[in-house]
Structure 1
Amino acid sequence: MANMAKGDRPGLSDRLMDRVFQPVREEFFKNVRFAEPAGDAGWFGPGSAVWHVHSHLPAVQIGLAAAAMMETLHPTMAWMGYEHTRAIERVDGVPTGRFDEKGMASRTGRSVAFFLGVTMGPAEVAEQVCRTVRAMHDGIAGVRPDGHAYRASDPELLTWNYATQAWGLAAAHTAFHPRPLRGEGLERFFEEYARVGEALGAVDPPRTRAGVMRLLEDSVPHLGVTLPAVRHLNPLAPWRYPVHQRPVYALVQWAVQDLHPEWAQELMNTPRHTPLGRLARRKAMKALVNALGGARIREVRQSWERAASVPADA
């Protein structure tokens, strides 16, 4: 995709992406602006690794899906998700265990609004969305069936949660972005992204890829597959969808798990394929993720224009 200067008209792929994204925009971006104030680069700005990663929304969504799936391996995250997530139907406040499509759409839309707002919005928006998320965390607490109390605002849990997100975003970016950051560029992403973890309440979040992986690997003895993870917390499970859609969702679900470290794949019993089979599936998924080429949604274009800068090709 050619560089976009301020005032350039969006291309066909941009307009198609905007049309696909419009329902999310209308419902969840009402109070998250990107076009002003002029000259405000936000927390990261043009030239940052964070902007390069987050400008490619499909890879970001896959990365967040991978992180969310990994989070279900943490017993506290799994039970907290089951008891509080919008993705599970509730009757009189009690989870029924059935999947709530509208609730899942709401959860996904709000997540995208947060991650784009905090990374590419102006500074005031970044601070606003972080305050909103922290306020939500303050209201979430409970007790697991084994008697273990939890609260979403626990700094240790937030640090682990940050590590899954940083890992997932970087892994999906490396796998699916047409021009991914590598080496020092990718390390710069981890260094920059730690600011988001700190803003949400993480304590001394790791600022290197090695540090993130070490934190996750150190947590393995405490992880496991619980009933919420198996039954309720995987919205990509093919069986949730009509028969004609299942082949696509089976590919997406496998591709998300394929990003995971070996220990996570073992816990999840990720399907194994021959090297040729894995290569074919990875190529098919990359083609699917990049079907619209270097398209950028309106909010990403507005961020570049607001910062009065011209982006490198996505």
Structure 2
Amino acid sequence: MLNTIQDLMRPPAGMDFDFSQPPGEPALTPADGVSWRVFANPVALFIGGVAAVLLELAEPSVRSGVWDHTGFRVDPVTRLRRTGFAAMMTVYGPRTAAEALIARVTRMHARVQGVTPDGLPYRADDPRLLDWVHATATFGFTSSYHRYVQPLSAHERDRVFAEGRASARLYGATHAPRSWAEWEALLARTAPTLEASNILADFLRIMANAPIVPAPLRLLQRLLVRAAVQIVPEPVRSLPQLRGQGLRAGEAAVVRALARGGALLPLGDTPPRQAVRRMVTAR
């Protein structure tokens, strides 16, 4: 199970990349920061990513942009691997490679625009929407690690947001939160616009049944999806499509065991380990 989820951290086909090169080149986030610890855990990464997407899909313009302009519904596994690789590059990749990838993403965003079912025009490069996407991702990964791997102090949770500022600016998220308090303020401002949608239910169904892990392990996959629902904050967690979809009695302990196992088992030559070698080589 852990090895399968860890595969989501690897580059998709045709996007192979050696994070150990070039020696000594720093990443966008500091090698001694909290982000390097949080993003190294594949289970926390999976749970946090699902939680982030649930928050994104509750925002009408982001929902239309994601659902109408990506291949998620057709090929969710490839979409997850691409998103996972982008996260790895943003956190661990050498700065020049990370900047190049983000530039390609922003060029794609510039071509994405449309109108929501309620008639609201949107653009994927709207800084307001980019702030929300960046903030929900940071919240999801941080909360997942904090809840299921190891508790983070208030200072450490602030640091994850602060460490993401460089990449946020490159993506165009010009007012992304710099601390947990700023995240909570953004959530409070955005809450009146967050809404229920059948797409939330569709997303949960896709994540529960997509061939992310072998069929015999699909029950554990669904458990991790419920773990993601569990950490989604209000008012989204009470939306009809999410109500009652969180963890059941006793399941949190199983998720914690899986997540902590992800930090202890030898999972191969992952991007985080390659990035550590890149920085050690320079010493």
Whether contact under 8 Å (1:28, 1:110) holds in the other structure is no
Instruction: Specify the alignment match of 1:183 in structure 2.
Output: 154
Is 1:289 aligned with 2:262? no
State which of 217, 236, 244 in structure 2 corresponds to 1:271: 244
Instruction: Specify the alignment match of 2:43 in structure 1.
Output: 58
Whether contact under 8 Å (2:12, 2:81) holds in the other structure is no
Whether contact under 8 Å (2:158, 2:180) holds in the other structure is yes
CA displacement at 1:19 relative to structure 2: 10
Q: Distance in 1 between matches of 2:281 and 2:154?
A: 25
Is 1:118 aligned with 2:101? no
State which of 178, 189, 201 in structure 2 corresponds to 1:218: 189
Q: Secondary structure at the match of 2:177?
A: coil
Matches within 5 A, 1:177-256: 177=149, 179-232=150-203, 234-237=205-208, 247-256=219-228
**Structure 1 residues 249 and 22 mapped into 2: Cα distance closer, same or farther (>3 Å)?**
closer
CA displacement at 1:66 relative to structure 2: 0.7
Instruction: Specify the alignment match of 2:32 in structure 1.
Output: 47
Whether contact under 8 Å (1:155, 1:201) holds in the other structure is yes
Structure number with bigger Rg: 1
State which of 73, 76, 89 in structure 1 corresponds to 2:58: 73
Whether contact under 8 Å (2:194, 2:236) holds in the other structure is no
Instruction: Specify the alignment match of 1:169 in structure 2.
Output: 141
Whether contact under 8 Å (1:78, 1:226) holds in the other structure is no
* 1:166-208 deviation line (CA, Å, top 9, x unaligned): 111110110122x443222222111111222211001221101
Letter in 2 for 1:115: A
Instruction: Specify the alignment match of 1:27 in structure 2.
Output: 13
Whether contact under 8 Å (2:49, 2:141) holds in the other structure is yes
**Structure 1 residues 175 and 137 mapped into 2: Cα distance closer, same or farther (>3 Å)?**
same
Whether contact under 8 Å (2:61, 2:116) holds in the other structure is yes
CA displacement at 1:217 relative to structure 2: 2.1
Whether contact under 8 Å (1:166, 1:190) holds in the other structure is yes
Instruction: Specify the alignment match of 1:153 in structure 2.
Output: 125
Q: Distance in 1 between matches of 2:101 and 2:94?
A: 11
Whether contact under 8 Å (1:18, 1:297) holds in the other structure is no
* 1:129-154 deviation line (CA, Å, top 9, x unaligned): 11121111111111122221111011
**Structure 1 residues 111 and 243 mapped into 2: Cα distance closer, same or farther (>3 Å)?**
closer
CA displacement at 1:272 relative to structure 2: 7.3
Letter in 2 for 1:122: P
Is 1:131 aligned with 2:132? no
> Where in structure 1 are there 5+ consecutive unaligned residues?
1-15, 89-99
Q: Distance in 2 between matches of 1:239 and 1:108?
A: 11
CA displacement at 1:18 relative to structure 2: 8.7
Whether contact under 8 Å (1:41, 1:122) holds in the other structure is yes
* 1:77-107 deviation line (CA, Å, top 9, x unaligned): 222222112022xxxxxxxxxxx2xx21111
State which of 134, 143, 150 in structure 1 corresponds to 2:115: 143
Letter in 2 for 1:168: G
Q: Distance in 2 between matches of 1:246 and 1:301?
A: 28
Q: Distance in 2 between matches of 1:230 and 1:168?
A: 19
Whether contact under 8 Å (2:28, 2:167) holds in the other structure is no
**Structure 1 residues 287 and 228 mapped into 2: Cα distance closer, same or farther (>3 Å)?**
same
* 1:236-284 deviation line (CA, Å, top 9, x unaligned): 245999996664344222211101113221114421789xx54x11111
Which region of structure 1 is more displaced relative to structure 2, 295-304 or 105-114? 295-304
**Structure 1 residues 152 and 305 mapped into 2: Cα distance closer, same or farther (>3 Å)?**
same
Q: Distance in 2 between matches of 1:127 and 1:238?
A: 34
**TM-score in terms of structure 1 length:** 0.78
**TM-score in terms of structure 2 length:** 0.86
Instruction: Specify the alignment match of 1:302 in structure 2.
Output: 274
Whether contact under 8 Å (1:238, 1:246) holds in the other structure is yes
Q: Distance in 2 between matches of 1:285 and 1:155?
A: 35
> Where in structure 2 are there 5+ consecutive unaligned residues?
none
